[in-house]
Amino acid sequence: MGFHDTAGGIHGAASICPERELKEIYGKPFQAAIVAGKLRGIMPCYDSINGEAVHGSKKLLTEVLRGEMGFTGQVISDYSGVANMHRAQRQFENDASAGYHALCAGVDVELPDMDTMGEEFAELFRNGKGDPAVLKKAVRRVLTEKFRMGLFEHPYALTGEELHRAFDLTEADRKLTLQSVREGIVLLKNENKVLPITGETHRILVIGSQAETARGYFGGYTHYSMSEALLAAVQTMAGVDHENGADRETERIPGTQIQRTDNDPRFEELLKKQKPGIRSFLEEVRNRISWAAVDYAFGYHFAGNDESHFAEALAKAERADLVIMMLGGKNGMSMIASMGEGIDGVNINLPPAQEKLIRLIGETGKQIIGIHVDGRPISSDAADRYCTAILECFNPSEAGSEGITDVLTGKVNPSGKMPVSVARCAGQIPVYYNHPSGSSWDQAASIGFQDYVDCSHRPRYDFGYGLSYTTFEYTDLSISDVKSGPADAVNISLRVRNSGDAAGEETVQLYFRDEYASMVRPVKELAGFQRIYLAAGQEKELTFRMYMSQTAFLDEDGNWKIEAGDITLMIGSSSQDIRLSAKVRITDDAWIEGKDRRFWAESRIKP
C-alpha cells in the first residue's frame, strides 16, 4: 500500500503517505481482494512509510494487515526486500537482525535468497535471542498454504510435455486474449468521424518503429519481456565482445540511456519463437486494409530525440490520404525499455521526436490517427492539437495488432474507458477524480486561481472517459427508497438506449458524493459500473444495488463510520460526464469494521 506515492516518483523510495489516505484509498483494493477474492498471499513493498521500512513494520503487516484487514494468508518478501532494510534503508545492525525484525513484523518467507534468514538468523534461535513462538507462527502459516495448494502431494514443477501444455494457448485462450484487447482500447478522440477507416481512403502511411514489431505489446512482467531483458543482459554482460575479446560500447537510442535493440535480429527471433504467428501492426494493416496502398516510414524510435528519419516520413506523408502514427514508449525490464519497474522518468509526455513529428505532419493539414502503445497513458499537447483521432491501447499482448485493426476498420466498436485521470504534465501530479472537496479543480474561488498560471487544473483525459462510434442516452432514473439505514441498501434503476446507428457497448458508471460530512470527503467516489451491449436503437434497463456501508470512512478517531446525512448518487458515461443524479439520506450513524464494509454496487441488466 502506498507504493506508488513515493517521493519524486522514484521506484522504492520513501512514501510520505498519511494513514487516512493509506487505508481509505490505497488499502481499499487490497481489502476488497482479501475479503471478496479470498487472497492468500501478500508481498510488502520496498518503500519506507512514515519512517520505517514496510518489510519491518509490525504496525502495517500485523496490526493493520492481519488485525484490521483480516488477512490470514502468508506474507512473502519482495525481491531482496528484507535485505534492503539493512543494506539500503540502513535499518538494524546486520542482515540477521533485519531478518528477525521482518519475521516479528509479519514476513513469513524471504525471497529470492536466504540473505537475512540464513545461518546467522538461525543462530538467534539457538542461543535464545530469538522468540521460538514467532518462528513457529511463520512456519505454521507457510505449511498451511503448502497443504492448501497440494504441494505435499505434488511437490515438483511441471516438466516436458506437461509444461508445454500448460503454456500453450488453447483456442479459448486466444479468444479471451482478443476480447480483452478489443474491450480495453479507448477511443480518446475522433474528429470528423475519421474512424472507422472506410474504402474512401486509398493511400495510408504508417509511421513509427513500433509498427514494425509487436515487441512493444507486452508489459514488464510478461514472459516475453522478462526473456528479452535476460537476452539483453547476456549480450552486454560487462561490456565484453565475446567474439573478439574486447570491450564494446553499448549502442543507445539517441538522447537516452536506453540500450538499442531494434538492430539486433535476435530479439525479434525470440518473439517469434515464444509467440508463433504473431504479426506486427504494419503486417496486420497491410493484410486487412487491402483496398488501400499502405506505405511505411521509420519516423522515430520509441524514445529519444533522433530526427534523422523525419525527411523520409514527411516526404511520404505528402502523398498519403491518411497518416497513422504509432506512438508511445516500451514497457519492459532493464535498460531496453523506457518504463517499467525501477525505470523512472520525469517526462510523462511523448518522446521529443514523436512530439515534433506529430506537429510537423499536423501543420501540413494531413489527417493523423495516433495509436498509443505503452504501459502508461498518452499525454501529449501535439497529439491533442494535431491528431484527428487517438486510440489508447496500453499493452495489448499477442492479439494487439488484430484488436487494434478491428477497431480501426469498424469491425469492433471501441468501448474502453480510462482507468486513471491523465495528467497534462509531471508538475500536475497527483491529479485524480476523487480528490477531496475544495481541492484540485474544485478548489474554492476565494482561495486561489481556478487553474495554474500555465496549465489547467483539470486532467487531460478524465477517469472513466472513452468515446464510441455510436451514442448512448440515459433516462428514467429511479431509486427504491430516498431514505436508508446504515446497514441497508438501495436499488437504483435506469434505462440506457443506443441512440446512434452502430451497435456498441457502454460502461455505465455509478458514483456517489457525501454532501456534508464530519471529515473532508472526496468530490465523488466510484460505487459501481456495468458494461451493457446494445444494438443500434436498442434500449435496456439496468439496476444497481448500492450498500450504504460503501460510504464508510475513517472518523476523527480512526474508526470506520457510516455517517447519517445526504448522499448524492450520480450516473454517467465518465466521472465528469454525469447524466442522471438523485439523493438518498442515510438515517443514522453506525460504526463497523473496515473489512465488513461493501466495496462495489451489484449490478444487473434486465433481459
Yes or no: say if 497 and 486 are a contact pair by the CB < 8 Å rule: no
Q: Report the alpha-carbon angle 98-100-104, nearest 5.
A: 115
Task: Determine whether 204 is exposed, middle or buried from the number of CB atoms within 10 Å of its CB (0-12, 13-18, 19+).
Answer: buried
Give the end-to-end CA distance of the chain in Å, rounded to a whole number. Answer: 40
Yes or no: say if 370 and 327 are a contact pair by the CB < 8 Å rule: yes
The verdict on pTM exceeding 0.75 is: yes
Cα Dmax for the chain: 83
Phi, psi of 190 (to 5 degrees): -155, 70
Kindly give the residue spans of alpha helices, DSSP state H, lying in 502-566. Answer: none
Question: For cell 454496487, what's the residue?
Answer: 601
Question: How high is the pLDDT of residue 245?
Answer: 44
Question: For cell 531482496, what's the residue?
Answer: 80
Taking the C-alpha atoms of residue 605 and residue 541, their distance in angstroms, rounded to an integer, is 6
Copy the grid coordinates of residue 197. 477507416
If phi > 0 it is left, if psi is from -120 to 50 it is alpha, else beta; for residue 304 that is: left
Question: How high is the pLDDT of residue 243?
Answer: 53
Question: How high is the pLDDT of residue 445?
Answer: 83
Question: Is the predicted pLDDT of residue 138 greater than 90, yes or no?
Answer: yes
Taking the C-alpha atoms of residue 168 and residue 296, their distance in angstroms, rounded to an integer, is 33
391: β partners? 187, 371
What's at 324, amino acid-wise? I
- Domains of the chain and CATH, by start: 7-149 (3.20.20.300), 184-409 (3.40.50.1700), 472-605 (2.60.40.10)
Task: Determine whether 528 is exposed, middle or buried from the number of CB atoms within 10 Å of its CB (0-12, 13-18, 19+).
Answer: buried
Question: How high is the pLDDT of residue 246?
Answer: 41
* pLDDT tens-place string over residues 60-114: 999 999 999 999 999 999 999 999 999 999 999 999 999 999 999 999 999 999 9
Question: Is the predicted pLDDT of residue 321 greater than 60, yes or no?
Answer: yes
If phi > 0 it is left, if psi is from -120 to 50 it is alpha, else beta; for residue 16 that is: beta
* pLDDT tens-place string over residues 350-374: 999 999 999 999 999 999 999 999 9
Average of per-residue pLDDT across 185-214:
96
Taking the C-alpha atoms of residue 347 and residue 269, their distance in angstroms, rounded to an integer, is 32
Average of per-residue pLDDT across 438-462:
91
Question: Is the predicted pLDDT of residue 550 greater than 90, yes or no?
Answer: yes
Copy the grid coordinates of residue 193. 468521424
Question: How high is the pLDDT of residue 236?
Answer: 59
Question: Is the predicted pLDDT of residue 23 greater than 60, yes or no?
Answer: yes
Taking the C-alpha atoms of residue 494 and residue 569, their distance in angstroms, rounded to an integer, is 12
Nearest to 61 by CA among 98, 110, 108, 24: 108
Residue percentage of the chain with pLDDT more than 90: 89
If phi > 0 it is left, if psi is from -120 to 50 it is alpha, else beta; for residue 90 that is: left
Yes or no: say if 601 and 548 are a contact pair by the CB < 8 Å rule: no
For 316-373, list the strands marked E by DSSP: 322-327, 367-373
Least confident of 134-143, 236-245, 532-541: 236-245
Copy the grid coordinates of residue 273. 519463437
Cis peptide bond N-terminal to 196, omega within 30? yes
pLDDT bracket for residue 238 (50, 70, 90): very low
Taking the C-alpha atoms of residue 367 and residue 347, their distance in angstroms, rounded to an integer, is 27
With DSSP H G I counted as helix, E B as strand and the rest as coil, what are the percentages for the chain, rounded to 5?
35, 25, 45
Residue percentage of the chain with pLDDT more than 70: 97
Task: Give Cα 284 distance to the centre of its chain.
Answer: 26
Length of the chain: 607
Copy the grid coordinates of residue 71. 488477512
Taking the C-alpha atoms of residue 482 and residue 413, their distance in angstroms, rounded to an integer, is 37
pLDDT bracket for residue 242 (50, 70, 90): very low
Yes or no: say if 560 and 594 are a contact pair by the CB < 8 Å rule: yes
Taking the C-alpha atoms of residue 52 and residue 312, their distance in angstroms, rounded to an integer, is 55
* pLDDT tens-place string over residues 392-407: 999 999 999 999 999 9
DSSP category for residue 195:
-
Taking the C-alpha atoms of residue 284 and residue 306, their distance in angstroms, rounded to an integer, is 27
Per-residue three-class SS string for 474-502: EEEEEECCCEECCCCEEEEEEEEEECCCC
Question: Is the predicted pLDDT of residue 387 greater than 70, yes or no?
Answer: yes
Question: How high is the pLDDT of residue 240?
Answer: 44
Question: How high is the pLDDT of residue 447?
Answer: 82
Nearest to 65 by CA among 81, 80, 49, 51: 49
Yes or no: say if 326 and 358 are a contact pair by the CB < 8 Å rule: no
Average of per-residue pLDDT across 304-313:
98
Top mean pLDDT of 215-224, 233-242, 327-336, 567-576 is at 567-576
What's at 559, amino acid-wise? N
Copy the grid coordinates of residue 263. 538492430
Decide: helix, strand or coil at residue 504.
Answer: strand
* pLDDT tens-place string over residues 176-191: 999 999 999 999 999 9
